[in-house]
Amino acid sequence: MYSKILILYFPPVVAQNAVVCYLTKKFDLIFNILGARVSNKKDGYMVLELRGTKSNYQKGVSFLKDQGVRVSTAEQEIWRDMEKCTHCGACTAVCPTGALSIKRPEMEVIFDQEKCSVCELCIFTCPTRAMGLYSKNTDEMMV
């Protein structure tokens, strides 16, 4: 079974169509939506895990691109600066995958990198700016 996390960007003309549902119907792929947002301009993005055979995965991604969806892989990772983290828990409230959680009774924020979908919501929520992006391609920390 082949599995990959994708970030899909939908222009306004495509965002109103249920193109992701066809991944199951036409290509026998299983998808798990990890996060999604539609802006007031009617464009949007979706972070999803896509699973199936490698051949069907490639056909499904080609289908999405043919429909006008921009597809990218998660080439970045979320990182946490432990010196800045105060374990306030604000990030846990917005994390759609449960990658950030609170360990009780210690009230310590735990970060499970394997569950992270790189939706970046924690970066914007963290009051101490302890969360950031790491680029796998350039091997450097980003804001």
Complete DSSP assignment for 48-85: EEEEE-HHHHHHHHHHHHHTT-EEEE--EEEEE-TTT-
pLDDT tens-digit map of 43-56:
888 888 899 999 99
* Residue pLDDT, tens place only, 92-108: 999 988 999 999 999 99
| Assigned token pair, 125 | 């929520």
Asked if 100 and 67 sit in the same domain, the reply is: no
Residue 14 pLDDT: 84
0.85 surpassed by pTM: no
Structure-model confidence comparison of residues 136 and 114, the more confident one = 114
Point out the domain boundary residue: 73, 105, 127: 73
pLDDT for 110 beyond 60: yes
Name the residue range of residue 51's domain.
2-73
State residue 46's pLDDT score. 86
Residue 17 gets the label, from left (phi > 0), alpha (psi -120 to 50) or beta, of beta
- Final residue before a domain boundary, out of 73, 94, 115: 73
62 and 81 housed in the same domain: no
Measured distance CA(61)–CA(45) in Å, rounded: 15
- Whether the per-residue pLDDT at 21 is higher than 80: the answer is yes
